Each structure stands twice: as C-alpha cells, then as structure tokens.
C-alpha cells in the first residue's frame, strides 16, 4: 500500500527583493497510515513552511520549486487549486497553533461546524448537527450541545483548540498536519489534547505529522522523528533511536540543551550561536558555523545517508551509533 | 514566618533577615467592573461585577542568594506577584519587605529589585541604541561616574554575551536571544540585589534557552544575586531554583525544596501538574490527563479552588478552603488530605 504521505526532494522558495530564497531545500518524508511522525526544530527551521507546502496553504510570496508531494499516491503538485481545495478538509487537514486560524470569530460553533461538514457531505441540518455534537464529544468537550451554541470567544483557549481539532477531523482525513497546536496551552490542557489526538490516530488510522519545537512532547507521542535545521531534515528515524542515540551533531546539541537531562544547577551544554536566517545561509552544511565536528569537507552540502534501516542522517561526520 | 526560612540550598547558611519577605499579599483587579456592567448592576439588571482576585493572601520569604521558583498555569497570578515584588505594581493589601524593611508600596521603585520579562522587545525602547538602553539608568542614578559609563556598559555587554561592537544598534536588529541578553545587561546595570525573571527564557528556542539559563546561573554565582524565577516550565525551574512556590488561582497551594516538591508532590494539583509535563525519557505515553479547564479567577469555585478537577475531592473540599500550612520541615501545602 502506498504511504499516506510521500515527499521527495521538496523545495520551497520565497520571492524576495534579494531574489528567490529557499526556506525548504530538499525535504524527504514518508508517513504511513496510523503513524505519528514528529517534525522537530527550532523557530525558523522550516517546519510551518513544510506543513503549508503539503496542504497548499503557502503565502502568496512562496511557491514550491521542486520535488514531489504525494497523498495516497496522488501527486498534489499536479492538482488544480480547485481540486486541492476539495481535498483539503476531506483528505488532508491542518491544525494551527492559533485555533482562530481555523475558527471564524463572528460565527457560532454550530454554524461553522455544520458548514464544514456539509461542504463535502450531503447532510440535512439535523443530522449534521448531531454529527457535530458527536465530534465535540469525541475531543473531550463536555455538554457539546451547549457549546455548539457558543461563539469562539466564549470558550477557553484549550476548548477552542479542541473545537479546531474536531473540525479538522470531521471528515476523517487520511492525513492531519498539526502545527504546534499545544504550544500556547498550559501543560494540563496540552495533556488533554495529546490524549485526544493520540487516541483518534490509533482508532481511525489517521496519519499525523506533529510539528513542534518541544522534544519532550515528541518523546511521548511520536513513532518517528524528523529533525529540521535551516530548511533541511538533518536526521530522521524511530523515536527511541533518535532520542537515545542521535547521530547528527545538531540533534545531540538539542537534546543536551534540555535542562531535565542534567543534574540540577550544572551548566547546560550549549550550542554556540544561532540558526542562520535565509539570507545568511552558509554554503554546504548549514550547521557548520555552530558545529564542533566540522571539517573542510563540511563546506560541501551533505546529502542524506541511510545510517541504519529507516535511519537517515545528513552529516559528513555523524556521531557513532549505539553499538559504538 | 520564621518556619519558612529553611536554610537556603547550596550550603548558603542564612543568618540575616530574608532579602525578600512577602506577607499576606492580595491583589484585586477590576473591582469596579466595566462601565456598562456597573450601569446594568446599578439598574438591577445584572449581578454586581466581581473583582478578579489575581493574588489571594500570598506569603513567603526568600533568603539572600537563593533562587525561588514560581510555577503554575496561565492566569494563576505569577506575573502579578512578580510585578508587585519588583515594585511595578501596588498590592491591594499585604506588604513586601526588603532585607527586613517594609518597602513602601508602588512607585518610586528601588533599583535593588529589577524585573526581566518574557519578551524583552516590548520592554526595550525601539528608538534607543543599545548603549543608551543599558547606560541610561547608571548614568542618571550615578551608579558610576559619567566618564566611566561607556566602559561600564561595554563591560556589561561583554559579560552578558553581546559584542560591544554592536552598541550603536537598535533592539530590533537583534535576535530574540540577543535581546534577552540586552534586557539582562540593562537590569544588571543598576546593581540590583534581586532579579524577578518573568518567563525570561520561555519564548526562546531550546538551544538559546540553554545559553541564557547558563548566564543566569553564572551571574548568580558571581554577583550573589537572588532570583524570583517565574516560569511555567517545570524543567527549567527544577534546574535553576532552590525552592518553588506552586500557585493555583491566585493562591500558593504548595511550597518547598524544588526536588522535594516535584519528586514527592503533596498537593493533588502539584501531582497533576508534574504528571502532565512531557519528558524526554517518557516514551509512548498514554496520556490520562486531569479533566476540566482552569476555572475563571472571576468566579473561583467555593472551598478548595481545585476541587472541580481534583480526583480526591470530598464534601469538605467543596465547602471549606484549605489553609496553607507546614506539612514537613520547610514544606507547606494547602489540602484537607493533610488533616
Ligand atoms: N491589569 C489587569 N486587569 C484585570 N485583570 C488582570 C490584570 N492583570 C492580570 N489580571 C488577571 O489576574 C489574574 C492573574 O494574572 P497574571 O498575569 O498574574 O497571571 P500569570 O500567572 O502571570 O499567567 P501567564 O502564565 O498567562 O503569564 C488573571 O486572571 C488575569 O486575567
Ligand atoms: N512570509 C514569509 N516571507 C519570507 N520568509 C518567510 C515567510 N514565512 C517564513 N519565512 C522564512 O522561512 C523560513 C522557515 O519558516 P517557518 O517554516 O515559519 O519556520 P518554523 O515553522 O520552523 O518556525 C524562515 O527562515 C522564515 O523566516
Ligand atoms: S556536516 Fe560537518 S558541519 Fe555539518 S553537522 Fe556534520 S560535521 Fe557538523
Ligand atoms: S483540599 Fe480537597 S479538592 Fe482541594 S486539593 Fe485537597 S483533596 Fe483536592
Ligand atoms: Mg512555525
Ligand atoms: Mg504571566
């Protein structure tokens, strides 16, 4: 069976006064049915642009310049905008950090949800309403009938996000892209959302790309991890392999920066410097200016190499694997 | 109060008065309500608007050189507490004492307590160059002789990891991490004794966060600073703080040594909070979160504020508010289960 999502060599550029700047430079990513793949990286690494490139929601200044994006084997780049719109919501849905990207502030929840449902399904009002109430209950909202009559501003942030998730899942899409949906939420509310999303993926076989900068969240829910740096995936593999024995120096540095992995009060190992902006991208390995393992070879561009089955690393001098 | 003063961690014996002591601090917001609300209430068309009790009878003490963490979810009153301690806001009642002396409420604030914010950008004047942002206060307050200000500023920039070459630039020309360094250098310029850090590393990427956390720890060591370290990130607080206050809806529900509190929480809310924090070493977690939302502080549940979400709540919890009391040496909690 074809994977739900299959991305090869994806490149996306922003048109700027300084010419085309590539925010994505060769993304390869496969997500299978029922799988949760985490796309991790610090701000500006290209996580959101990846999500927008897949769902066809790129801002006007940006365009995909190369590569393939296949959903259930269908080449999304070949689709007309109308065909893409019809796919969105039905086959692929996106959840954003700010639920108000999904919700309309001036419409009641029931109006928004039944519209979203009836856009792709010929349902009567009553039936649509019943389905919407069921969808709210499924994401853990109490008294769904009462909530349906409310406006977004009458709900807490966590509840708004759950409504946005319920809308994204209305048509049981094959693929959901979740772009930092819990970043703005408190941990107890984040826990509720993680529980909901985890359960729905497992029960319905939805493929999920969970975008986050938080490695700890990834550890708890993901099957596989792809680590992004400056528009490239620098390492990917099964969650345990990547977190317990990272091969790329940046992944190692990210894990080491998390305070919880160190005895209290000890100085944290820090990665010097910061991520380059698109105009400052070095030739060759973009991590080189911050990397302690760099050599003359790193002035060239490292390509992804399969270090172990399902384990890809983009580095000329990867760290030794678990076995030494 | 004395019982709160367990010797500070890290072997710093404490003999003098605590550098910071907060007594029965309460802060209400919007007691008057909106104009429309008051009008309707006056006409008997709406219930009288309730004030938000952002802080409710908070007391604690911090020893010199100690780092006191403050954790809790959004809206629990952390920033309100921080602003009052830093002298940027008046309490509705209660008092703040500095080194044993009562601090007159509100302005003008002392230089010995400075605040560092989550978003240094909004607190840095965009029209001023970095050298002025950092050098203005020491010049005005004669912290150093006028001739020495440039060298003093360059020294601070260097110490905080900003290249003094960049002194002529404006704040917006720096990355988030660099702006936070500027904010820290500016706070240090007046030689404070106490820094209130309000989510000071929360907006930063983890690799930059590590740099700034290290800077805070180094400065504490070098300058003998005391911190009130506010963060919703329990991992960061565990790493930098000696003791911690756990807040819920304006009240301290638990306090004590940070490892004690996080590893062996007493209060059911602390337990839920600690359990909800994702950790690198917890894989394929089956999240079983606590139910319900954080209630509105405008309308807090009666009795124990946590009872609607508490799996252990009893009838008493719905009627009677538990008091914060000592449950073990250096450890306080507010829960009826301790009776
Ligand atoms: N100026 C104000 N006017 C009215 N209400 C306020 C004001 N400032 C704070 N509050 C209310 O007081 C309560 C505590 O707010 P505070 O900002 O101290 O919370 P916090 O713990 O810092 O939250 P966060 O984690 O979101 O920063 C909240 O209910 C808030 O809405
Ligand atoms: N509208 C835009 N115009 C120009 N550059 C942009 C725009 N949106 C994003 N970028 C750039 O693309 C890169 C990746 O951004 P993004 O995908 O938003 O990062 P992330 O989601 O990982 O934080 C960054 O360098 C960012 O500055
Ligand atoms: S390719 Fe070279 S510079 Fe880049 S991460 Fe690997 S060792 Fe470091
Ligand atoms: S007092 Fe009662 S409701 Fe409150 S935390 Fe303790 S057991 Fe739970
Ligand atoms: Mg993003
Ligand atoms: Mg705050």
Task: Give tens-digit pLDDT for A272-309.
Answer: 888 888 888 999 999 999 999 999 999 999 999 999 99
Smallest CA–CA distance from B221 into chain A, residue: A265
Please indicate if any CB of chain A lies within 8 Å of the CB of B299: no
**Tokens, residue B80:** 């309100």
Domains parsed from chain A with CATH numbers: 5-81+205-313 (3.40.50.300)
The answer to whether the Cβ–Cβ distance between B213 and A194 falls below 8 Å is: no
Highest mean pLDDT, choosing among A263-267, B72-76, B92-96, B104-108 = B92-96
Neighbours of ion ligand 6 (CB under 5 A): B 79
Mean per-residue pLDDT of chain A: 93
Q: Would you say A242 and A236 are in contact if contact means Cβ atoms under 8 Å apart?
A: yes
Angle of helix A157-168 relative to helix A125-138, nearest 10 degrees? 120
Distance B92 CA to ligand 5 centre (A): 40
Residues A225-269 have pLDDT tens digits of 999 999 999 999 999 999 999 999 999 999 999 998 788 888 999
Mean per-residue pLDDT of chain B: 87
The band of A140, judged by pLDDT with boundaries at 50, 70 and 90, is confident
Smallest CA–CA distance from B67 into chain A, residue: A265
Q: In this predicted structure, what is the pLDDT of residue A290? A: 95
Which residue in this structure is represented by tokens 């394929």?
A: B284
Query: Which residues from B are below 8 Å from A274, CB to CB?
Result: 175, 177, 205, 207-208
Q: In this predicted structure, what is the pLDDT of residue B9? A: 40
Query: Which residues from A are below 8 Å from B281, CB to CB?
Result: 219
| Residue B164 pLDDT > 50 | yes
Please indicate if any CB of chain A lies within 8 Å of the CB of B141: no
DSSP state of A280: G
Name which of A126, A64, A55, A128 is nearest A95 in CA terms: A55
CATH fold of B18-112+192-279+287-338 = Rossmann fold (3.40.50)
Angle of helix A187-204 relative to helix B268-276, nearest 10 degrees? 50
Please indicate if any CB of chain A lies within 8 Å of the CB of B283: yes
| Residue B31 pLDDT > 80 | no
- Among protein residues, the one with the nearest Cα to ligand 1's atom 17 is B79
Query: Which residues from A are below 8 Å from B207, CB to CB?
Result: 42, 253-254, 257, 270-271, 274
Residues B209-244 have pLDDT tens digits of 999 999 999 999 999 999 999 999 999 999 999 999
Average pLDDT over residues B4-16: 44
The band of B36, judged by pLDDT with boundaries at 50, 70 and 90, is low
The answer to whether the Cβ–Cβ distance between B276 and A257 falls below 8 Å is: no
Compare A233 and B106 and report the one with higher pLDDT. A233
Please indicate if any CB of chain A lies within 8 Å of the CB of B175: yes
Compare A181 and B50 and report the one with higher pLDDT. A181
The answer to whether the Cβ–Cβ distance between B272 and A188 falls below 8 Å is: yes
Average pLDDT over residues B260-282: 94
- ipTM of this complex > 0.90? no
Give ∠ CA B104-B117-B6 in degrees, rounded to 5. 60
Name which of B171, B167, B161, B169 is nearest B149 in CA terms: B167
Average pLDDT over residues A89-111: 94
Please indicate if any CB of chain A lies within 8 Å of the CB of B203: no
């Amino acid at each position: 069976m074809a994977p739900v999502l299959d991305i090869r060599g994806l490149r996306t550029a922003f048109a700027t006064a300084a010419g085309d700047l590539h925010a994505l430079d060769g993304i390869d990513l496969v997500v299978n049915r029922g799988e949760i793949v985490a796309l991790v990286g610090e701000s500006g690494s290209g996580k959101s642009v990846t999500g927008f490139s897949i769902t066809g929601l790129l801002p006007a200044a940006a365009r995909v310049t190369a590569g393939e994006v296949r959903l259930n084997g269908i080449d999304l780049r070949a689709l007309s905008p109308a065909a893409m719109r019809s796919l969105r919501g039905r086959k692929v849905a996106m959840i954003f950090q700010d639920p108000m990207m999904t919700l309309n502030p001036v419409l009641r929840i029931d109006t928004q949800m039944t519209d979203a449902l009836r856009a792709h399904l010929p349902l009567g009002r009553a039936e649509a309403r019943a389905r919407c109430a069921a969808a709210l209950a499924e994401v853990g909202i109490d008294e769904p009938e009462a909530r349906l009559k409310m406006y977004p501003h009458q709900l807490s942030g966590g509840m708004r996000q759950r409504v946005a998730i319920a809308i994204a899942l209305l048509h049981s899409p094959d693929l959901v892209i979740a772009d930092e949906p819990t970043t703005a939420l408190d941990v107890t509310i984040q826990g509720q959302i993680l529980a909901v999303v985890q359960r729905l993926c497992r029960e319905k076989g939805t493929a999920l790309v969970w975008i986050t900068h938080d490695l700890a969240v990834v550890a708890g829910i993901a099957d596989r991890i792809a680590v992004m740096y400056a528009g490239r995936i620098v390492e990917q593999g099964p969650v345990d392999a990547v977190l317990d024995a990272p091969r790329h120096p940046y992944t190692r540095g990210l894990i080491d920066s998390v305070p919880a992995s160190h005895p209290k009060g000890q100085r944290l190992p820090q990665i010097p410097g910061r991520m380059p902006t698109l105009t400052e991208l070095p030739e060759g390995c973009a991590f080189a200016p911050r990397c302690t393992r760099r050599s003359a070879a790193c002035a060239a561009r490292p390509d992804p190499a399969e270090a172990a089955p399902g384990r890809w690393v983009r580095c000329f001098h990867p760290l030794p694997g678990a076995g030494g | 109060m004395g019982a709160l003063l367990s010797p500070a961690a890290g072997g710093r014996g404490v003999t003098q008065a605590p550098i910071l002591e907060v007594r029965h601090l309460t802060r209400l917001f919007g007691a008057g309500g909106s104009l429309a609300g008051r009008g309707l209430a006056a006409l008997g068309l709406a219930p009288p608007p309730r004030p938000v009790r952002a802080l409710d009878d908070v007391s604690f003490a911090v020893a010199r050189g100690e780092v006191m963490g403050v954790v809790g979810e959004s809206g629990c009153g952390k920033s309100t507490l921080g602003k009052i301690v830093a002298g940027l806001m008046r309490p509705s009642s209660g008092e703040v004492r500095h080194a044993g002396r009562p601090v007159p409420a509100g302005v003008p604030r002392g230089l010995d307590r400075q605040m560092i914010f989550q978003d240094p950008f909004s607190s840095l004047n965009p029209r001023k160059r970095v050298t002025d942002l950092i050098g203005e206060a020491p010049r005005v307050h004669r912290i150093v002789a006028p001739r020495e200000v440039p060298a003093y500023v360059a020294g601070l920039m260097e110490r905080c990891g900003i290249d003094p070459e960049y002194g002529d630039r404006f704040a917006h020309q720096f990355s988030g991490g660099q702006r936070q360094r500027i904010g820290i250098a500016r706070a240090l310029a007046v030689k404070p004794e106490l820094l209130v850090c309000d989510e000071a590393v929360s907006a930063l990427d983890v690799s930059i966060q590590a740099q700034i956390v290290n800077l805070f720890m180094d400065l504490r060591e070098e300058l003998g600073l005391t911190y009130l370290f506010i963060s919703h990130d329990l991992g960061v607080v565990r790493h930098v703080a000696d003791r911690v206050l756990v807040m819920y809806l304006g009240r301290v529900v638990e306090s004590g040594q940070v490892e004690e509190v996080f590893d062996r929480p007493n209060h059911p809310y602390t337990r839920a909070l600690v359990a909800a924090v994702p950790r690198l070493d917890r894989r394929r977690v089956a999240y079983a979160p606590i139910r319900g939302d954080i209630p509105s502080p405008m309308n807090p549940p009666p009795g124990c504020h946590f009872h609607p979400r508490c799996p252990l709540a009893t009838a008493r919890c719905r009627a009677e508010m538990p008091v914060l009391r000592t449950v073990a040496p250096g450890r306080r909690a507010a829960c009826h289960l301790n009776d």
